[in-house]
Amino acid sequence: MEQVFWKELNEELHKGTTKKGHPFRYMTLATVGLDHLARLRTVVLRKLNENLDLTIFTDKRSKKVIHIKENNKVSLLLYHPKKMLQLKIEGKARIIEDPETLKKYWNGIQPNSRKDYITKKAPGTVIKNPDLVTYMDDEHHFCMIEIKPYKIEYLKLKRPNHIRIKYSKEGEKWVEEFMTP
């Protein structure tokens, strides 16, 4: 494996979980539900483990949770403008339902950020006025989604030649293939 590219991919993904303002902190998540229509939204990378499993937080009533239950194959798109680096990640998502894990992470969320998970109405519900959003005091809909990648495309835009590499997971090992950019 061309270690320099794999190393950069790993380092930049990990920085996305630790450095405020890092371009990989925010990524685009695509899901496809039973309607067979791709739905895209920006999510925040909260955690990344040594296997490159990515974790995001959401409201368990959101459309993305419904889509993942219908079809757990998802795609992620990340772009670092200064490094001219794009990552496309394909993986299988799962809803984390372990109460102890959820409690641990819920307790780590700042009180002012908890409002994202305590609205009385589900995300996407039509309302007449944004000032009319109401919140619960004793309940939350906090949820975690883990994405296990099985394919990562690395694209480095540079001169004289762009570099594009496909990493595919085979068992526990990542296999690389250079591609025409």
17 close to 47: Cβ distance less than 8 angstroms: yes
pLDDT at 1: 45
32 close to 40: Cβ distance less than 8 angstroms: no
Helix, strand, coil percentages for the chain (3-state, nearest 5): 25, 40, 35
Mean pLDDT of the chain: 95
Identify which of 171, 144, 149, 176 has the alpha carbon closest to the alpha carbon of residue 78.
149
Is residue 158 predicted with pLDDT exceeding 90?
no
Report how far residue 7's alpha carbon sits from residue 127's, in angstroms, rounded to the nearest whole number.
46
Q: pTM value?
A: 0.93
User: How confident is residue 3, by pLDDT bands cut at 50, 70 and 90?
Assistant: confident
pLDDT at 69: 96
Domains recognised in the chain with CATH numbers: 3-110+140-179 (2.30.110.10)
Report how far residue 171's alpha carbon sits from residue 25's, in angstroms, rounded to the nearest whole number.
27
pLDDT at 2: 60
67 close to 39: Cβ distance less than 8 angstroms: yes
Cα torsion through 17, 40, 136, 130, rounded to 10:
120
User: How confident is residue 64, by pLDDT bands cut at 50, 70 and 90?
Assistant: very high
Cα torsion through 65, 129, 42, 47, rounded to 10:
-70
Report how far residue 76's alpha carbon sits from residue 91's, in angstroms, rounded to the nearest whole number.
8
